[in-house]
Each structure stands twice: as C-alpha cells, then as structure tokens.
Structure 1
C-alpha cells in the first residue's frame, strides 16, 4: 500500500520541476537581446560625404535592422547604384534599395559618382511604394531616418497620409532653429539659416511637420561636428570593408570642385544615427516648428510637434562613432 504515500511526494516534485522550468524561462527572457529597431533610411547619398559615413555607422550597429534604403533628390537612380555597391561590397547585399523621385536643378555636385557608376542598377522599386508598403506590414514599428530633402516623404504623405501616420517616428537631420552654419565651434554662431534639406524641398517639409507623426529633429544647431585629421586617418586607414569603401568615397569627395568645403567633413547626418543608438548623444527639447514658404524652420508658439536637439554631446558621439567603425565586426 505504498502508492498513497508516494503520490503526494511525486506531485510535489513535479510541481517543483515545473516551477524551476518556469523560473529558467523567465530568467532567459529577462536576459534576451532587446528587439532590434526597424529603420528605413531615406538619403541623398553621393553629394556630401556625411551620408556615406551615416550608412557605414548603421551597418556597424547590430541594434538596428535596416528594412531598406530609399534614395532622395537629384539623380536618385545613380544614388541607388552607390548604395547597392556599398552594401554588396560590405556583405549587406540583402538590404533592399528603392529609387526615389528624381529631381532636376540640384546645385550640389555628385562627388562620388565614379564610385556609384560601378554599382549595379537597382530593381524597379519606387521609394514611395516601398515606404508605404513597409509601414502597412509593420504599423507602429518602423522609424524613418530622413537624411536628405523630403521629396519622397512629402509624396508619401500626399498619397496616403493615414498609412504614413502609422510610422513609429521620423528621426531627421534638417532645419536651423536658433543658430546657423559655421565653420568652427570657436566662431560666434550665425542666426538661423535656411538649411539645405528643408530649403530644397519646402512642401515636403511642411507636410511632414503638419502630419502628426512623432518627429525627432537634429538641426544644424547640433549636427556641425567635424571629423578631425587624427580620427579621419584612423578610420580611413583601418582596412575593413566598410572603412575601405569610405576611403574611396572620401577621396572622390575631396577631389570634387567644392569651393565652400575643405578636407574636414562635417558629420551632420551621423547625429540622428548616433541618437538612435544612445539618445544622450543629443538631448531633445519639445518645440513647435513651422516651415516657412522660403525654407526657414521657425520656432513658434503652440503645442510641440517635434523633439528638437539644440546641442549635442560630442564626446559621447565620438565614442560611439569611432568605436563602431573601428570594430572588425558589428
């Protein structure tokens, strides 16, 4: 008659085993890797060099899943070929590339055209179609990283504002709020300027700032970070596939006719990328921003429509930037 004695004991042991299994599952879940950020990058890569550095930083950041890259402004087909080559030669050829709306009258030279011309033509995938389709597939999940004139963005809002409104957020480089362009941080800041990305596509910018989508804005106030010679030499001489691609494009950039520039890049477009990795890089202030018809981004009274970074933490920025790009593997 041992069965009645052992049955409660067996049940107790089974319960203990189940509890241990549940505890183990909870412990593993608590230490699971955080969900990767889903990001679509809309960029005018190929003119200034900061776009190429921004894409490189994204590729070296495993916390970010690049859902796709869309090209904006000017010769968007050639920009797509540049992206295709950079992705392929750095081992990321599976990332989709979509060609944006082409424009004419771009005053900026396509400085990295020779690099781009050796890329493969992108599939016939229109940027606006791609953007809206990805938002529909993952509503509330996708961050749009807007690093160029907002032609594609404005067209997407005009076509389907309801779908565009299901973005998680737009993180952008653009505008000039309390100070303008300057060559050095030791020079007195100019008043707010017309910033290139906004002034190039005013209607798209106006649509974005009235769309109701959460906006994180990095204007020239906080993004004029220079890549000095010591850091530049360390990066371009590093010898990884990503930094080798940057070295080629950097030398094409400085060899192009740019009377306003120097061999020291300003890393405008990298600040929004670094913010995605660590928001302390660029603390934000809630402001209401209005885009004027002549291309200024004015701070106005009213309910905030953007979180705006007015000053960046440059030591933390370089810690992230240099650390990621000098790592052999992301």
Structure 2
C-alpha cells in the first residue's frame, strides 16, 4: 500500500463482545435481533443468560434458543438463571404485553436444555473487553455478585435497562425492571460496578409506527420474519392503552454498541426503593447535585445538625465535613436521560429491513 492509499484508508471498527442477560419478551427479542443484524459495528454475542421477568425463566430460555436458531446462531451459549425475584412472588404482569410465554406463541415447540450454573457461566464470559447488557430484572446479577463478588467487576461496562427519573412505566415513578425486583436493583447498584443506566426517561422517546411494522412484516430478513407476528401482537396490546409503540430494550442495545446515541448522560448516586411500598416500590432515587447526594447519604436531619454544629463551632470547616460525607458514597451509575430517538429508529429499521427509512 502506498502513502496515498494509507492516508485514505479507514480502520475497520473493532469487534465488540457482548453478553446479554434477558427475560426474553418481544422487545428483548427485537434488541437481540438488532444486535445480530446491524452492520454499524461487528458484534460477538458471547452468551445469553435467561432470567424471569416478562415471562418465567423456562419460557425465557426457550425464547432465547428459538431466536438464536432462527438467526443461525445456535452456537451461542445459553444458561438458565433465576426463576423468581429476590423476595416475594413473581409478578405475572409481563404476560399482558408479551403473552403467557413471552413471545405470543412464536417459540412454540422449541425445547431448551440449558445448563443452570449461572455463576460458572458468568465466570466463563466476563472479561475486560466485554460489555454486559442487562435487559430484565437484575436478579441474576445480584445472585452472581453474592456468590462471586469479583466476576461482575471484570466487565468493561454493564449497560442496564432500568430506572426512571421523572417518567415511570409500571407506576408513575417506577420503571418495570426495577419494580419487578427492587432488592436486586438496589444491591447491584451498591456494588459500584461500571454501570450505564438506560432510564425510562431516555427510551420512552423511541417508538415505531404502524408503517414501520408493515415494512418489517414484508421484509425478507430472518429477524424481520421471526419478529413480525409477536411485534404485531405487542402493538395491539399497547395500542389498547393509548401508548406509543415503544421498544425499550432496543434503545439499550443500540447504546451498548453506539454510546454516542445518548444525548444526555449524567453521573449520579442511585438508590432503589425496596419492599412493597405501593406506588413507590422500585422507584429509583437519583442524586445528581451535591445537595441531593448529601441528603441521600446522610439524611436531612443529620445535615441540619451538622450545620448547627458549624454555626456553633467556628473551627469546624463545613466544606470539608460535607466533602467527607460525599466521599463515603461515590456515584454508582452513569445515567442516560435522553437519546437520539430518530437515530435509534433508523438504525433498527435499517438492520432488520436492510433499508433506511425516514
């Protein structure tokens, strides 16, 4: 190659290694199908862990195996993860929009004989060049963190679909994945892992239209053929509630591959309301400013006492005291609050139909 050719050559994008943890419903399937169909960056799907959520863990594993088979990726390792939340019974609410089996019967007849050693799976796939994409409740991750604390720290990034700042989904303030297992979400965040949190505030901006669904239904790609029927059923249910046709998991998948699709990202201290607290169950409390973080760490009454002490004791350096409090609990997530929804839509449709639509 001569100097002119070298100057005009462009290095090919590096391969991205991804592990997916999923409760495989319709939007999860759309996300994984995009990962394996897109041409923006080469992706190696290193493994998939099934978890309860949109459906039972058995059905989720069946849906994963069926999708991989439809896309010619049967060699991807699949493991059966946790079957119930950290505490309390499993909620059946996912069947409302995903059907009883998570894919509106699309995987009927498929058999999944998957290993069940979740920790061994994660030990095998975790690596410094790998991104973990968590699309369901964080029950699998909290189990791994409890039994093998070092494993999750090996990942370069953990992209988590979960949480809400101003716009909930299952309640006015709570996002579905965190609502399903708030204890798991709070414990995983407490581990201070390299988490990118894709919130409801961000992914609610991305929606498909009925024309988009029609284009997918006539597209010839294996992914479009496989997804057409369950996506149509998913759209019918969301339409009954007057909701846009959102696919949250697709947004998280796109951000795992193309972080620049996030238009607003902020470092934050995030906690999750645990237990059965009615409408606030699973609410993610996010501290972005120092005053918010201070209240989350120390509590309002304790801060008031500290201020009173500083006023009474001129030698007490209030700024240093406040800095020491903040240092006790550093931020635990990079929170995505907005995305380029038009870019996500173009990328998704282009990958599944092989043509960009406006």
**TM-score w.r.t. length of structure 1:** 0.80
Match of 1:226 in 2: 207
The residue matched to 2:211 in structure 1 has which SS?
Answer: helix
Q: Does 1:193 align with 2:173?
A: yes
> Residue 189 of structure 2 is aligned with which of 190, 209, 233?
209
Equivalent residue runs for 1:281-320 within 5 Å: 281-283=261-263, 284-293=265-274, 294-300=281-287, 301=293, 302=326, 303-320=330-347
Q: Does 1:115 align with 2:106?
A: yes
The residue matched to 1:310 in structure 2 has which SS?
Answer: strand
Instruction: Work out whether residues 288 and 299 of structure 1, in 8 Å CA contact, stay in contact via their aligned partners in 2.
Output: yes
Q: Does 1:105 align with 2:90?
A: yes
Distance 1:279 1:255, change over 3 A: closer
Query: Which 4+ runs in 1 deviate beyond 3 A?
Result: 125-128, 251-256, 258-264
> Residue 68 of structure 2 is aligned with which of 87, 111, 122?
87
> Residue 220 of structure 2 is aligned with which of 236, 239, 252?
239
Counterparts of 2:244 and 2:217, CA distance in 1: 13
The alpha-carbon deviation at position 322 of structure 1 amounts to 1.4
Which stretch of structure 1 is more off in the superposition, 297-306 or 125-134? 125-134
The alpha-carbon deviation at position 145 of structure 1 amounts to 0.3
Distance 1:235 1:113, change over 3 A: closer
CA RMSD of aligned residues (A): 2.8
Instruction: Work out whether residues 182 and 282 of structure 2, in 8 Å CA contact, stay in contact via their aligned partners in 1.
Output: yes
**TM-score w.r.t. length of structure 2:** 0.74
The alpha-carbon deviation at position 255 of structure 1 amounts to 6.7
Match of 2:121 in 1: 130
Instruction: Work out whether residues 61 and 80 of structure 2, in 8 Å CA contact, stay in contact via their aligned partners in 1.
Output: yes
Counterparts of 2:104 and 2:110, CA distance in 1: 10
Deviations 1:275-300 (A, max 9, x none): 12322321311111112223211112
| Structure 2: runs of 5+ lacking an equivalent | 275-280, 288-292, 294-325
The residue matched to 2:113 in structure 1 has which SS?
Answer: coil
Distance 1:122 1:58, change over 3 A: farther
The residue matched to 1:123 in structure 2 has which SS?
Answer: coil
Match of 2:31 in 1: 54
Deviations 1:64-115 (A, max 9, x none): 2111111111521221111111111221111111111112532221512522
Distance 1:315 1:254, change over 3 A: closer
Structure number with bigger Rg: 1
Instruction: Work out whether residues 254 and 344 of structure 2, in 8 Å CA contact, stay in contact via their aligned partners in 1.
Output: yes
The alpha-carbon deviation at position 263 of structure 1 amounts to 8.4
Instruction: Work out whether residues 47 and 125 of structure 2, in 8 Å CA contact, stay in contact via their aligned partners in 1.
Output: no
The alpha-carbon deviation at position 126 of structure 1 amounts to 3.2
Counterparts of 2:197 and 2:267, CA distance in 1: 10
Distance 1:263 1:174, change over 3 A: closer
Deviations 1:165-221 (A, max 9, x none): 111111011001133349xxxxxxx9x611110121122111211112111111110
Deviations 1:98-152 (A, max 9, x none): 11111253222151252223222233243343122211xxx31221101100110
> Residue 350 of structure 2 is aligned with which of 295, 313, 323?
323
Match of 1:145 in 2: 133
Q: Does 1:166 align with 2:147?
A: no
Instruction: Work out whether residues 194 and 295 of structure 1, in 8 Å CA contact, stay in contact via their aligned partners in 2.
Output: yes
Instruction: Work out whether residues 42 and 144 of structure 1, in 8 Å CA contact, stay in contact via their aligned partners in 2.
Output: yes
Counterparts of 1:263 and 1:308, CA distance in 2: 24
Counterparts of 1:39 and 1:200, CA distance in 2: 24
Deviations 1:226-270 (A, max 9, x none): 2111212112221221101001322444577x7964685311111
